[in-house]
Each structure stands twice: as C-alpha cells, then as structure tokens.
C-alpha cells in the first residue's frame, strides 16, 4: 500500500510543542507509583468487566469462530475516571520507552492516546485510515519534526497487524517508531509478531492476568477462565510473510486470466480490465421495464449485473433475450442470483427450463454446496442444453445475520474443496473474505454506501471495507455488489 508522504514541519515548532526539553529525555516514573502491579491490575480488570468492556459467553467473531470472550473497549469513553486510570496505566507501563509523540491506532485507542497526551502534556499525532483526496492529502495529522520518536498506543492486540498498519505510515513520514503500548495483550501472537518487526510491546495486562484478576474477584468462574485459556491457546495468529518489496504487489486483471480455469471467469477478468471496474450492481427491481432501464443506465460502468428473475412480476419469454442484448451492448455479464440448492436432476430443469430459462441468458449463476457436487454437474448439463458457457459461484460465506454457513465450521472448507475439484466449472465464491487462492474470483454481497443492517437481518459493509480493509489477495479480485439500486465508479 502506498502512503502519502507528510513533510516535517520547521524546527521552530519546539517553541509551542515540545518546549526546550525532548520527550525522549523524559521519564514518568518519578511522578507516580506504577498502577499496573498487584491489586491495581485487579481493580482495573474489575472496572473493565463492570462497565461491560469484557464479556463472557458465546460470541461469533467476524471469522465465524465462536469465542468465549468478547472485548469491546470503546465503552470506556463513557467513563472519564476509568479513562484516566487507563491513561495512567499505559503511561506507567511504557516508562522505559523513549518518545517525543503519541499516536493512537484508530479508532478505539484514540481516546486512550488523547487522555495520555492531555495528562502528560505530550504532543499527539493522528493517523487517518486513508489519505484525504483534497487539501494537503495527509495521512498523518499533527505537528512534528523529522526523526522524532513516536509511541504507538493501542487498546488490545491479537496479531499486531493493526499496529503495523499505523507504524508504516508513521515511518514513511520520517518518524522513528520502536515501542508500542497496549492495554490488553490477548496473547495470540502479537508480541512475537511485533518483535519480528523490531517493535517492543508494553502491555498493561495480558489475557492471563485479566482472567486471574476477574476470577480472584469472583467475577467469573474457573470454568469460564479455562474456556478462554483453551480458546487462546488454539487460536494463535501468525503474520503473513512479507514479500520482497521489489516484487510487484498486484497484477492487472488481464494478466490474471491465465490463473482462472473457468472461461466465463476469464471473460469477466477481461471485462474488468477493459472497463477498469470491479463493480456489480444488484438489480433489486420488480418489473421488466425497471430491470431493462437499470441495465441501460449502469451498463457502461459495471462488469456484472446481478438479477433476481423470480421477483420480476411481468417476466415474459423475451425478457432474458432483451437483457442479453443490453449486456452485449455495454460489455457486462449477467449474474442470476438464483442460489440453486436441489439435487442435480432437479437443478437441470430449474436452470434450463421453467418460465425463466436461466441458462439461455445468464452468464453466471450461484449455488449452495449443501447438495454436494451433483449440483455443479446439473448446472453444467443445463448450460450444455442451452449451448452456452456458464460460470458457477459457490456460496462460501453469507452476509445475513445468524446464517448457518458462518456457524458451521466445516461448511466453508468443504465448499472450497468442492470448487477446487471442479475449477473448470466454478469461477469463484460468494464470500465476505478471500477463502481460497488466486485461481478463483470473490463476489462480496451486502455492500452499500453506508454500513449497517436492515430489519430482516442483512448486514451491510461499505465498498472501502471490502475492497481495501478485507483485501488479502495480491490481486484485487473482490467484486462489490451494491444494493439500494446505487452504483459507484472505481478507477
């Protein structure tokens, strides 16, 4: 990822910022006794538990894993005294670190860094999650000198990735970063991962200390503590290996065609490259005229139009053909979001026959894997009867709240295995994340301009979240599916 360089300010800032004393020469140990020893840790742990920042039970994480503990430190902003205690603890535990500035990892750690800054009169910087596209276009906000030492402040660490995402732009801006201070170390690999990147982690408490404190204060049982310990031990996180900086980080869409076996997938990549778009628009309309009008309007900007033929109230024998003509005119593919889920023979009839005769006009269809690989063979037979090529997407993950695809741990891996065994037919997955390799494409559902949900359990992400934050591939293959009949242009 490229970052916008931030030019250091004049050294004259010392008169209004650091004064005549370098913060790197400053130590806090003479101001107060450490609050992170003995009973002080117990008291802080209890306060966090009592305000609801630490919860125990069964919580489904973004990855689909069920965790016996959930940590949400954002609630601490509503408790000024607790926030002050946290700031004191973070300051004391990092007493041996030498620094001129503070920078909190956005967003939960920003109040922590702010409280430390105000209480200790230490200048603070802010990192934007993305650079502004106007004005100074900065990603690091604040006043500083090149070469100044910056202490990174975080609320909790698991792998340490979020810390590195803050450290990198700070270093690019000419700052020196060697230390990180955190309220809670989940002990899932962050300390070792940060050490490999020449960063020393200072933690107020570890997950083990938290559990011991809460158990000693009768807030949790030994069974709860034991469940968390087992969970932490079984979910260690290792950072992905960094590739050679000289190696190109991304291929063009056109160059990716050799990696994909399915012919429709190859064509989709060509279209994406030619139009410089990875946009799929969901045509959630209920009449033929609205469907065709939307296809005409957004066709020049998109690579895929996603349809629901069975909600078109006046679908007739010519609708598919007319939609296909618009797709050819504007060079996009039609994806019928039918979500086939039956046995192979039934699927043949559902795809090739009936009122909609999907195989005659759709380039892409999707299917649940619950019926087994026979469903893939049934869809291929329907395409053969129509004399057309077909790309199949398997549902690996869904965006609706409480869906069983995310709750069953074996569902996604077995779906991926099914796709790998039928790669000439399966072009990719419906998923929230990259679940396999670069030989597949990934369509991410539930994307609109603002995050949130609806009354029926749909959970929405933003285009930035799925295209940037969740992007793990060396090739940007996630295709956004926008709802609310809106669309964006991506360059």
Q: Which residues are the active-site residues?
A: 339
The helix (run of H) or strand (run of E) holding residue 164 is helix 161-172
The helix (run of H) or strand (run of E) holding residue 150 is strand 149-157
| Nearest Cα to Cα of residue 157 among 179, 181, 185, 178 | 185
The residue assigned the tokens 């906000």 is 141
Distance in angstroms (rounded) separating the CA atoms of residues 304 and 268:
8
- The DSSP-derived string for 70-124 is EE-GGGGGG-HHHHHHHHHHHHHHTTT---SEEEEPTTTTHHHHHHHHHHHT--E
Q: Which two tokens stand for residue 362?
A: 């759709």
In the chain, what are the helix, strand and coil shares in percent, each to the nearest 5? 40, 20, 40
Backbone CA torsion sign across 121, 123, 127, 131: positive
Residues 162/194, Cβ–Cβ less than 8 Å? no
Residues 215/226, Cβ–Cβ less than 8 Å? no
Q: What Cα–Cα distance (Å) separates residue 368 from each residue in 265, 375, 378, 455?
A: 19, 8, 13, 24
- Chain-centroid distance of CA 294 in Å reads 30
Q: Which two tokens stand for residue 158?
A: 């698991």
Q: Which two tokens stand for residue 175?
A: 């700052």
Distance in angstroms (rounded) separating the CA atoms of residues 161 and 152:
13
Distance in angstroms (rounded) separating the CA atoms of residues 400 and 392:
21
Q: Which two tokens stand for residue 259?
A: 């990696």
Distance in angstroms (rounded) separating the CA atoms of residues 472 and 486:
26
Q: What Cα–Cα distance (Å) separates residue 142 from each residue in 3, 124, 155, 199?
A: 16, 7, 21, 23
Give residues with Cβ within 8 angstroms of 458, minimum separation 6.
Answer: 399, 400, 401, 446
Distance in angstroms (rounded) separating the CA atoms of residues 192 and 189:
6
Q: How many CA atoms lie within 13 A of 331 on its CB side?
A: 14
Phi/psi for 40 (5° steps) reads: -65, -40
């Amino acid at each position: 990822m490229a970052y916008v360089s931030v030019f250091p300010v004049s050294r004259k800032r010392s008169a209004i910022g650091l004064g005549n004393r370098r913060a790197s020469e400053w130590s806090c140990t003479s101001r107060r006794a450490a609050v992170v020893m003995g009973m002080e840790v117990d008291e802080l742990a209890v306060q966090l538990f009592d305000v609801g920042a630490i919860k125990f039970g069964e919580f489904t994480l973004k990855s689909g894993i069920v965790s016996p503990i959930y940590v949400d430190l954002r609630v601490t902003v509503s408790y000024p005294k607790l926030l002050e205690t946290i700031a004191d603890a973070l300051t004391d535990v990092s007493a041996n670190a030498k620094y001129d500035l503070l920078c909190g990892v956005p967003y939960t750690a920003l109040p922590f860094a702010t409280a430390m800054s105000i209480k200790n009169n230490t200048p603070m910087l802010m990192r934007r999650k993305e650079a502004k596209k106007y004005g100074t276009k900065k990603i690091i906000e604040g006043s500083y000198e090149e070469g100044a030492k910056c202490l990174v402040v975080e609320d909790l660490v698991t792998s340490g990735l979020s810390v590195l995402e803050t450290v990198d732009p700070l270093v690019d801006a000419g700052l020196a970063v060697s230390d990180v201070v955190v309220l809670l170390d989940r002990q899932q690999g962050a300390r070792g991962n940060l050490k490999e990147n020449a960063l020393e982690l200072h933690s107020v408490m570890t997950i083990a200390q938290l559990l011991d404190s809460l158990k000693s204060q009768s807030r949790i049982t030994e069974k709860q503590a034991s469940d968390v310990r087992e969970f932490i031990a079984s979910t260690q996180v290792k950072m992905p290996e960094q590739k050679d900086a000289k190696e190109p980080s991304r291929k063009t869409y056109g160059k990716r065609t050799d990696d994909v076996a399915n012919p429709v997938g190859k064509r989709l990549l060509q279209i994406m490259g030619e139009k410089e778009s990875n946009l799929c628009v969901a045509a959630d309309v209920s009449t033929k005229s609205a469907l065709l009008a939307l296809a005409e309007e957004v066709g020049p900007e998109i690579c895929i139009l996603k349809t629901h033929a069975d909600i078109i109230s006046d679908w007739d024998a010519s609708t598919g053909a007319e939609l296909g003509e618009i797709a050819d005119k504007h060079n996009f593919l039609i994806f019928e979001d039918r979500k086939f889920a039956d046995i192979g023979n039934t699927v043949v009839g559902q795809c090739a026959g009936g009122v909609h005769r999907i195989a005659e006009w759709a380039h892409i269809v999707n299917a649940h894997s619950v019926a087994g690989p026979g469903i893939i063979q049934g869809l291929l037979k329907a395409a053969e009867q129509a004399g057309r090529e077909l790309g199949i997407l398997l549902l690996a993950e869904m965006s609706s709240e409480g869906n069983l695809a995310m709750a069953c741990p074996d569902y996604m891996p077995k779906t991926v295995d099914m796709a790998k065994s039928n790669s000439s037919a399966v072009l990719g997955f419906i998923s929230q994340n990259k679940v396999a390799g670069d030989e597949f494409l990934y369509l991410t559902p539930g994307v609109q301009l603002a995050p949130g949900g609806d009354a029926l359990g749909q959970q929405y992400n933003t285009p930035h979240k799925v295209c940037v934050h969740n992007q793990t591939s060396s090739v940007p293959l996630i295709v956004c599916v926008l709802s609310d009949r809106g669309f964006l242009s991506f360059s």
